Structure 1
Amino acid sequence: MATPAQAEQLNHFKTPEIPLPDYENFEFDSKETPEYIAKIRAALDSPRKSHVLNNAYGVPQATPFVSGEISKEAATFLASIKPQWLLQLLYDQVLDVYEGERIIGSYTVSIARVPNDVRQFVFHITSRFITDTGGVQTEEIFDGIVTDKLETVCEKHTFTEESSTISIDNKRYVECQPNESYAVSVLRGDGEKVSTWLNVYTLGEVKGYVSECAHVLLSRLFSSEEAVPENFHVMALDAFGHFREVQYRKLKSRMMTFRPYKLDCFGFSRELAAGKEQTLHKVEEFFLNRRLIYREEAEREVMIKTHAIPPWKPTHYVAPVDLQVAQSTAMEEHWYIQMRRTESQASFKKKFANTVVKFPQLTQPLKEMVHLILTVRPDDVFAFVSECFRNWKDIYAEPELLNSNGMILSLDHCDRKPEPQAAVYQLLRSFGVNPNE
């Protein structure tokens, strides 16, 4: 039976269910409140289709239309998971984050069992990603509760970005919590009051999805088990309540040094078990964080291949079904985008320091963050990417994918003609900026 301290700890993580928004009294941040409410209501009252509605920022976003479901192999594997397998994964891990050969931060993962009914296995998973580059400090925390069948009870996502050299003070708190019929993602400010509802969707049409915290548990399980099923496809839920299709596959074992946990800038592949993953087989006894655990250095990697709507792109574009179900390689060819830097990072920031407009959806950790820097003059539209993108190869994207709804996704100084004036003004207005003032 749980002690009072353990019960208090469990209650701390058991957040109450988030109710559906009070449409009549809720104050949205968007200026298009009536239209937003009407579209949300219509979406909830009818089956989800691949239509577009505005999110709480007033920016068009795709509804969570999903072209596929969990694969049979994945469903079979998830149903066969034994709690004893997961009990071997209860250890902390710290990896250095590199930029080139320089350590710029750390990635910490903690998995622990939550005191609960002895007949149930519930796990508390926390991941913390911290970087410090160019005077900009970022911290991203995922904190969630996952069952032994990888069912997400709740998940909280906190992102903080600060700088001592440039004007950046960006904080957000997102909470995604499903129940049997629907799920709600909310964005909170510094206080406890809900500031913005991001997404509301029904769960009946989406099967087999896992959260970011469940990804951590699943990838660690795959690192410790020899038999990873083929055709392991599941649906993943990102921090904004949008779905992406994810395929797990095991790469060929090879020796490598510790490398950073890394989510690539376009969201297509992710090394969740990068480096020598520490698995808990009874090989060597030692104390770590005052707990006796067993560890061996495993030389296996697990690669996640994702495709659908990339996280770096404003979620206003609904990819055709043939693109959504295409192979990951083909998706990369469609979605990679060329960005050539013709000025240094410092001079570019200084030149356009007073005309920065950032997409809220793009405030991922600094290594995945894309800033679109705009001026109110229609012919001066520039794209800027941070220094960490310098090693990514340049691949042109399909031009028609860059013009949907007039949202400017990328431009460089030489190779692309700026979008027309109306598109620039439309983009600025979507963020509450009046270009005529």
Structure 2
Amino acid sequence: MDPCTGMENSAQDVEGLKASREALEFLASIDLKELEHCLFADSLTTVSDTGRELGEFTITVQNANYDNQPCYHVHANSHGSIDNIPCGTSFTAYISTKLETLEQSHHEYVTLQDHLLDRKSQMVRRGDQLLLNKVVTEREAVKRQTFTFPISSLEGFVSEASNLLILRVLAQRKRIPENMVFLTLDPETKITVSTYEGLGQKQQMVGQECMEVFGIKRMVDSIEGVPAVWHCYFLSDGHLASRVQVGSPVTMRLIQLPVQMGGDDKDKKAEFEKKPLVWEEDMQLCSKFLDRKEALKADYTTYVRQHPELKALMADFLQFLLLGKPDDVFSFAAEYFAPFASQSNPESTLKFTELRLSFTKLSFQMQEKREDGSKLLAQQNLQNTKDHQCIACHGPVKTMLKTVILIGGPQKGTRFRPLSFEVPKPLFPVAGVPMLQHHIEACAKVPNMKEILLIGFYQPNEELTRFLSCAQQEYKISIRYLQEYSALGTGGGLYHFRDQILSGGPEAFFVMNADVCSEFPLPDMLDFQKEHGDPHSFVILGTTANRKQSMNYGCIVENQQTNEVLHYVEKPSTFVSDIINCGIYLFTPEIFQHIGMVFQKNQQDMLLYPYEGEEQTNGWQRAEVIRLEQDIFTALAGQGKLYVYKTHRFWSQIKSAGSAIYASRLYLNQYHKTHPERLATNEDGGPKISGNVYIHPTANIDPTAVLGPNVSIGTGVTIGAGVRVRESIILHGATLQDHSCVLNSIVGWDSTIGKWARVEGTPSDPNPNDPYAKIDSETLFRDGKLTPSITILGCNVNIPSEVIILNSIVLPHKDLNRSFKNQIIL
């Protein structure tokens, strides 16, 4: 153990383990032409034994440079879930033309609700040694190790990356030499041996076709356990058709053939210049990107990350291509891309050039960075564009907008339990409709809003899928859910899915937290941004809080004349400002440059502190975890880029179940203006309504019941004679028997309250005498006692007749037999 670093250091003795002569001869026999045929990408789908899709697996091999020497860049990435447990592995490496591993970074994780297992390693060739740093995180325990291996003892060593190249060469030769024994590493980072064996040829379904494949078995011995065995089947051209680890419940299968990477372009500069390796980047995004745009991605992967405008440009080009439908696609493309490749003025023969206005502006912005002559050319071409008329749309290009709603995941919103046990918190009904529906409805009303993206790390489920389908039909707008492989923070999720957000070239996009309720003054925020004259500025929605409560939020110090954010502090320990962050933002694509700089800084921190990277990077475990509030807004404050738009309309967080009742009151009151048809009224033969009440049409309510104010009745609810309900939410299928009373409570799905029973809680409302008061996020316990708050009944709770449940939380599936007060009933 190193007393300075706290790491285990070891130099392994590999004597007695050697690669066979046949293995060394095989490595020597591989020529560059064979390896050039291995330069392509494979993208496979992970399926269960029942055929259910569980994830994706991708492999990419490309030309590269390492220390000014030609080599190969290998990237493999697998992610998904097994038995609903998120897991994944990825590595990226530089391999020499002799299949020696120059550098390799590997990451493997399994995420359970209460148990995280995370393994990271980095292998680097340094002089006459191979160095390997390894970090294993299990729950809160972190173990760090460093291994050194003499290069002289590693002849015939095959890493995971070089193994992928060997498999492709063997598949193309369709012949496996006997007695090939290579050196490799087992999962415990011990030197061991691996062997290859031919499995022959067979017929296998690839997509909709039955094709002939050649099988190869690879076995890696384990010093301390059972050998690991993989069966890989390849098409005749070397593409991987399927891969399975013996004993695993999943198989990886090729769905469609990717394109060849084009390794014969010898005059081109290598696509991947040597960059510092990171543990992992864009795991899910990369894998989804490969099947669609691999040939393009191979040419500008590194470059495009530095130029987000390129994504918008390409999306515009595709849109114009589809609108124009030219017979000669190549001529069409040549005209559009001429400003990038030529110094001469291209002819403008297309008639619908107004459509390409935003595209051309981007082109000329980049062109203006060239010589003065090129600047003049760009201005001339832009003027030509303005002189044309738009046949396709008969008018100027409209601003395109998008919205991103951050919905979190099951590890978030724990204060909302036990209600979040049954449905994801963003789908909990507030004022009769799912919480998210209020956000989506507000976004759909904004002119030129084209798409709404939900970002979170919930596993896709039936409730979420059904909600998205219904919302798309009702609001006639594209709505998609983008699942993070892990919690990436409010900024990390945006950066991870930046290509999807920028697809189509939006001029701006809103970002909203799902756990807020508001009137959502989105059009006002757009007008506010335009009034400041800077189309690239960013806007935070702010409101006023009292002095004490402001410290529970992000605090904003503004220039009162210009509304510029001069200083931003997230949840300060002392008073900073009474203007607080509402969790609703308006960004332009330029925000990704600022997030990208934080991402690169986190990467550098992890490389500078390879053993203490988690602690050194703002206390977070991964470089890609980025927080808008602490990492972005704090840095942007005072730079003339960040502004605050203050709203005087209602706003509140929805952190706890008590705040859901308060939010329901705010939305029900808003229904007078937006949806009066949703509010129940007093009618002959109906229940008595007092104040704002929502009743689902499928509910069955006795005419003698008294409801309101601030009551929401869900689908299929049954309410008996003489029932009194006030300041409460009654969820789907609940039954309130005769003369029961429910006050300041949430009654869970399919729960039953007996006759003459009383369920009552303590309201969590803000101080009505303070116009700037917000709802307090009380802790569950105070001075060792349960804090009085609303009463919550989980799903399928049965309350017997003539009992009282006061200020209590009852977990699901409980049959109570007596009264309870100020208790959590498990």
Shorter-chain TM-score tier: 0.3 to 0.5
Compute the TM-score of the two structures, normalised by the length of structure 2: 0.25
Larger relative contact order (Cα-Cα within 8 Å, sequence gap ≥ 6): 1
The structure that has the greater radius of gyration is 2
